[in-house]
Structure 1
Amino acid sequence: MLSGPPVTTTVSADQLLERFLNANLRQRRSLLAQVQQRGQELRPLLAEQLDRLDATGDDWAPGALVQLLVAESDALAEAFWQRYPDGWLAVSSAQGVDYAPLQRALINGQFEEADRLTSAHLRQLAGADAETRGYVYYSEVPPMAAADLESLDRLWVVYSQGRFGFSVQLRLLRSLAGRWDQLWPRLGWKQAGVWTRYPNAFTWSLEAPEGHLPLVNQLRGVRLMDALLSHPALQRRVSA
């Protein structure tokens, strides 16, 4: 019997999408490239899928799909923004902060703008004195509302493929047994005392090291970042 060439089996777009959403972390990262390569096939399926996914969690897979959906300026992207003008992820604020601009920046991969907005939101959460002086004291962190720090962290995690966020930085710190001197190089920060936004000082893309963003002003040492990462809201998120 003659044998023909081997048959190549390609999963359908629906099957790929299901595999991606149900995969474990390691499998998902390997499937992400396929999802992005087959974006044209997948994009018409994403709006309906997003409506069924949990917008109150912190799974980064839906965030990656949102970014794929809005990657092109067409009717599909326009329909998404009409359906979710503030962004897909459901976030809340106990202090009346509007996180829609931050969510839109993250969705669009505008990480530098998102970082600036995050710094501004931390000043808002710290109070009028912090907004006037332009930076946050470490002593102003403990009273910050848990809901707001959770919202900020979830936004960064969901729209960075799980690479950025305060909880990511906290997990790295714990893995280093609390060694701040070892954390800075892991984050891609030159040293704790360096705080500059000059070009090339930081990487504003997913090519940055894990935990690279958001930035925290370290001009006065590690106290501010330590206060943030010690906040019960972030401690709960990492311990959950």
Structure 2
Amino acid sequence: MRRSEYLWHRLHGHALAAEFSAVWVDRLELDELAQRVGADFRQARRCDRDEVFGIGDATVIWADRLTDDWLQIFEFRGYACSGALRELSAHGGRAVHVGWGLNGVRDLTYVSDGYHTTGFSVTVPGERSGNAPAALDALAEGLMFDVDDTSWMTDPELQPEWPAFEEWSAWMEENGYSVGDEDGEQPLPEAFGDFYGLSLNGYHPSLATCVTSALTLVGRLTGREVDEAWLNGAHTRLTIPHRW
């Protein structure tokens, strides 16, 4: 594992890498978080990561204190928090969102006191918005936000078999093959097993570096990164019924 992509791999170890959405909010308690996003705090319960689901199709929030000042909020099956950054940061607070999924990586968004301070592309350098687009620049020093960067190709930490796997994957796609034992399918070479599993979860060296950089920036802002202690802990689960 390359050091520049370690936070992607950390989330992958908890089945969170393929699709992820998290919000960090300061100056807010859990009961007020529930009120601002329409969750019933009376139904809140503590659970670990394995117990988050199994409660219908409602939006699920898994949240807890990250530091004395900041809450860390993971959201599943909906965007109740990332869609309410203005409300969550109102009255002198701050909120930041990082997320990605099947449609790609969403912009990192930072809101303060209800105002959109800055948003920028995690994968395309120079794409910015907000009232103060450079507000987080000091925290971005040394980080990489360019999915087209090719420096990973010569990184000595890159697993040496990865280029061969990429070549094989491109050949499979060009020829319309899929992996399997049926007609028209191709067997998975044993040497590529781990890489294939990573790729199914959206892994690519440059992309993993971009999202690790985004999470590193958030860690610098809040004072604590997404770490194993938090991921392995029990936190508050809130549910928000879908409003059709």
TM-score per shorter chain, which class?
A: under 0.3
In proportion to residue count, which structure has more helix? 1
TM-score by length of 1: 0.26
